[in-house]
Amino acid sequence: MRNILREQRRSSMVAAIVTILMGVLLIFVPNRSAQLLCALLGSALVLTGVIYIFGWLSKRRETGFPVWFLLPGVILTALGLWLFTNPASVIVLIQFIFAAILIFHGVIDLQGAVSLMRQGWERWWMDLLLAGLTLVLGILILLNPFGATEVLMTILGVALVFDGVSDLVLIHRLTKAFRQTNGDWDA
């Protein structure tokens, strides 16, 4: 059980650090960041699609794979090419994806704050406040009252940095609470 909790903590910390780095990138180069995300995602999809297509071509000769096994490769390749050619339409999708991520993190952080409250931790309300702010930022990005893409990307970057930092704070506090409640375990 402790190994599972340790691995969960490590993966949560890595996710928080990646979130912070993505946020910093969006803050300092908002327009290029969105285009970069589209280019990276498009490249990954095209590469995956091409691998599927070549895999189908090689297996078709050996085992007679049906033609519908080619379909995922064609769809992934087409989707990747679409990302390259239409990054502006993808920015709206990015907005909804990151809003959903922030709202999800806010809910998870709320659960952590409630857990700290139940254990009688001092200042549990700070974690509740951080979780609430994460939720508000997610909803704000979802609604996008800013209009301009560059402003949205900058606000999204600030929200991601805040989310990553608040996640690291909550992970630290939950780890400390777990150690005091259940005995010390390897970090």
- Residues 139-155 have pLDDT tens digits of 988 887 767 777 778 88
Residue type, 182: N
Rounded alpha-carbon distances, angstroms, from residue 123 to 9, 79, 179: 21, 47, 17
pLDDT tens for each residue of 81-120: 988 888 777 777 777 887 888 899 889 889 888 888 888 8
Q: How confident is the model at residue 62 (pLDDT cuts 50, 70, 90)?
A: low
Q: What is the predicted pLDDT for the residue at 1?
A: 54
Q: How far apart are alpha carbons 45 and 74 in whole angstroms?
A: 10
Nearby residues of 85 by Cβ (< 8 Å), 6 or more positions away: none
* Count of residues making up the chain: 187
Query: Is residue 169 within 8 Å of 123, Cβ to Cβ?
Result: no
CB 170, CB 130: distance < 8 Å:
yes
DSSP H helices in the chain:
2-28, 30-63, 71-85, 87-118, 124-143, 149-182
Q: In whole angstroms, how far apart are CA 62 and each of 21, 96, 167?
A: 45, 43, 50
CA–CA gap between residue 172 and residue 164 (Å, rounded): 12
- Taking the whole predicted model, whether its pTM rises above 0.85 is answered as no
Tokens for 153? 């990307």
| Pair 81, 48: CB distance under 8 Å | no
- Check residues 4 and 126 and name the one with the higher pLDDT: 126
Separation of alpha carbons 23 and 27, rounded Å: 6
Residue type, 83: L
Tokens coding 18 = 């990646």
